[in-house]
Structure 1
Amino acid sequence: MTPRPAATPSTKPAPGRSTLAAGLVGVLVLPLLGAADPARAGLPGPAAPTRDAAIACTDAPIGFASVNAVGQSGTTGGAGGPTITVTTAAALEDYVGRAGPYIIRVSGRIQVDDMLTVVANKSILGVGTSAEITGGGLQLGSTTRPGNNVIIRNIRFTGAGDDSISVTNKAHHVWIDHNDLSDGYDGLLDIKRESDFVTVSWNRFHNHSKSSLVGHSDTYTADVGKLRVTYHHNFFDGTDQRHPRVRFADPVHVFNNYYRNNALYGIASTENAGLMVEGNYFENVAHPIYVGYDESGPGRVVERNNLYVNSGTPQTAGTVVEPRTFYPYTVDAPASVPGSVSGGVGVGKVCA
């Protein structure tokens, strides 16, 4: 890849709130499909209703999931494939693991026992406000079946026995949007093992310690040059740490997120990772940004135009690749973040 120019710390304020920047690559359509024809599609089981306002949207991710790269034009998920509705763990496991594109609508509460492997070209979309996956989680891809071009939206994840969502095994072009994640065992959302071009947006993380890890371990150097992730408009609501904790990646772009009452720290950049942190609102966070953490070596952080309310002083170091060299974006005024983010995150608000 052609080398990108580095960004340096800036005291200039970020742009104010405006409409979505023009020029996003690809438009994702979560279509208003009529009932699928199981016989024609070769599918057993129920078909989707004619429309659902909660997921019938025309929009696209901002950030790394929008970038044309690795032979993929943005992130489209299961667009163009059959639409089906699942209500059981068996059906969910079946369809997320099938080859080819599918738009999979999750209806109601589904109890799973383990991590379900999601393979390429899937949209996994909660119906209404009651879609829930509990007891287990979703793993994007295996070592032999990639989990590329996947969208997960409008689902509540609770009580996972491992991670709630694991983006792993070289998965690329993933959009995780408007979910509610809580009360798991390990990480609520981990991105690792050479995964790339991921956007995490408008999610609420709560009732948990370890929110989101980027990078498998201090010794997994295969992650160098990968793990490009955008976090925007997420609510880290009382979670202790990893919002995110990052190894090796450059850049990880963290903008317009709301941090509240995070007991250990907000963000940690380690093992020479490069983080651009801008337009965020930290409230009651004693250590908003660390450079290096625990036994991990230091990373790099550029921070600009963040607000620190009853919070400590952020650590910064070095220079970082400028996200704007990859994609356009607009940063909201950080003072507006608590209201817009707390009111807009989570399930049932996809079209808000």
Structure 2
Amino acid sequence: QQFTLAADGSGKYRLVNRSSGKCVDVPDYSKVSGVQLQQWGCAGQTNQQWTLAASGTDTFQVVNVNSGLCMSLKDASTASGAAVIQETCTANSNKQWAFRSVSGRTWSDKADGFASTGGGTTGGAAGSTVTVTNYADLVKYATATEPYVIKVAAAVTVTPYGHEIPVKSNKTIIGVGTSGQIVGGGFFLGTGVHNVIIRNLTIRDTRMTEDDPDDKDYDYDGIQMDTADHIWIDHNRIERMNDGLIDSRKDTSYLTVSWNVLGEQNKAFGIGWTDNVTARMTIHHNWIHDTNQRNPSIDNVAFAHLYNNYMQNVTSYGNLSRGASKTVIENSYYQSVANPYYVDTTAASLTQTGSICVSCTGKQQTNGTTFKPGDHYSYTLDPAADVPALLKQYAGPQGNIGS
């Protein structure tokens, strides 16, 4: 029953359910009065966009951008389970809505995990703060040599389609509340790029259906890192990209990936593309749902610490420790996951404690000895049983970050 108002610019909003992460949607772009509303994957289309028209003291009419009709309780019902529909706008009370804020957590602006070690990760904190609402300005500041905190306050469409914006060192790219989106493209952090924070953004929609099922022809990632270091990826929603949602490649290290929603994808999160065994990374409090492979696949990582992650509806495999990786898994929750965790060679090690598997199939395999994450940094574990509800509420973009 909790929704986030996600700004799409020009007074338009999406209504995003906090539990499902899906948007209130008018089916099939209907303009017919009486059509029942539904929830659907968020795509920034006009049948999912709404304007708010003040209609009384602290109340509003919620008007669909596509149809021009108002959100309404059918027949002015007061019964639980009554349908919510769109109807011609009138002053009737069943078409007036009040918005009540819900108290939530506050979030540190300091990186944790391995991104906090080896000198730490501060992004563009040493530079100026700028706010962008268009692609040209985003590229201008992301590719600059100077440090910047770049606040993204609108849905920014990338051109050409699928392009990964090359981010330079010492940058923070952060969404303002839930308004910041990167549509039709992503980010690339190349060799030598360091000290970058990507936070509180929705990055979405470069899927090429003609490239299914393997997605090999169009290498459109959400975030790709090649030999980068000191990177913090936090509180993002990354969905429906053609290749990987996140790729950490070629010895990228001192990486923390936290509180993200990764979903509706073939390949979620690939790690490796190297024969060296030097990388250090922390992956915690991520909700990975409706994916197939690489959740993540961890190849030749010296220290991989995964905790309090939620894997849901995974069809190929969950956490895979490959090569000579040392992988520690703690207090995670696997629901309807094939092969929740295992190793693919005797050289790879994996230890697991405190996790829960529900309706899972296939391998739950540990191997060898790993390391103690607490020797590198401090952290607090949430009980595994609490993880699904916790991440459904708090993973992905938050209204009180970046605003």
1:262 aligns with 2:320: no
Change (3 A) 1:183 1:236: same
Change (3 A) 1:297 1:116: farther
Aligned 8 A contact 1:77 1:101 in 2: yes
Aligned 8 A contact 1:148 1:171 in 2: yes
Q: CA deviation at 1:184?
A: 0.5
Match of 2:153 in 1: 107
Query: Within 2, Cα distance between the matches of 1:58 and 1:311?
Result: 34
Match of 2:197 in 1: 151
Aligned pairs (5 A) from 1:279-298: 279-292=331-344
Query: Within 1, Cα distance between the matches of 2:228 and 2:266?
Result: 25
- Give the counterpart of 1:185 among 234, 242, 260: 242
Query: Within 2, Cα distance between the matches of 1:301 and 1:256?
Result: 16
Aligned 8 A contact 1:250 1:321 in 2: no
TM-score by length of 1: 0.76
Match of 1:124 in 2: 173
- Secondary structure of the residue aligned to 1:261 is strand
User: Which residue identity lines up with residue 390 of structure 2 in the other structure?
Assistant: S
Query: Within 1, Cα distance between the matches of 2:346 and 2:241?
Result: 27
User: Which residue identity lines up with residue 245 of structure 2 in the other structure?
Assistant: L
Q: CA deviation at 1:350?
A: 5.3
Q: CA deviation at 1:341?
A: 1.1
- Give the counterpart of 1:322 among 372, 386, 392: 372
Match of 2:299 in 1: 247
Aligned 8 A contact 1:178 1:349 in 2: no
Query: Within 2, Cα distance between the matches of 1:334 and 1:62?
Result: 20
Aligned 8 A contact 2:270 2:296 in 1: yes
Post-superposition Cα deviations, 1:160-209, rounded to whole Å, max 9, x if no partner, equal 361110122x2111100000000111110011112110000000011111
Report % sequence identity: 37
Post-superposition Cα deviations, 1:114-151, rounded to whole Å, max 9, x if no partner, equal 1111111100011121211111110113x4xx320000
Aligned residues: 282
Match of 2:46 in 1: none
Query: Within 1, Cα distance between the matches of 2:400 and 2:389?
Result: 17
Q: CA deviation at 1:265?
A: 1.1
Query: Within 1, Cα distance between the matches of 2:353 and 2:401?
Result: 29
- Give the counterpart of 1:139 among 161, 180, 188: 188
Match of 1:331 in 2: 381
Gaps of 5+ in 2: 1-103, 207-217
- Secondary structure of the residue aligned to 1:243 is coil
- Secondary structure of the residue aligned to 1:90 is helix
Match of 2:278 in 1: 225
Greater share of strand residues, 1 or 2? 2
Query: Within 2, Cα distance between the matches of 1:298 and 1:325?
Result: 23
Match of 2:392 in 1: 342
Q: Which has the larger radius of gyration?
A: 2
Aligned 8 A contact 2:176 2:401 in 1: no
- Secondary structure of the residue aligned to 2:392 is helix
User: Which residue identity lines up with residue 238 of structure 1 in the other structure?
Assistant: D
Compare relative contact order (CA 8 Å, sep 6+) and give the higher one, 1 or 2: 1
Aligned 8 A contact 1:86 1:107 in 2: yes
Aligned pairs (5 A) from 1:194-213: 194-213=251-270
Q: CA deviation at 1:319?
A: 1.0
User: Which residue identity lines up with residue 229 of structure 1 in the other structure?
Assistant: M
Change (3 A) 1:125 1:157: same
User: Which residue identity lines up with residue 307 of structure 1 in the other structure?
Assistant: I
- Give the counterpart of 1:166 among 215, 224, 232: 224
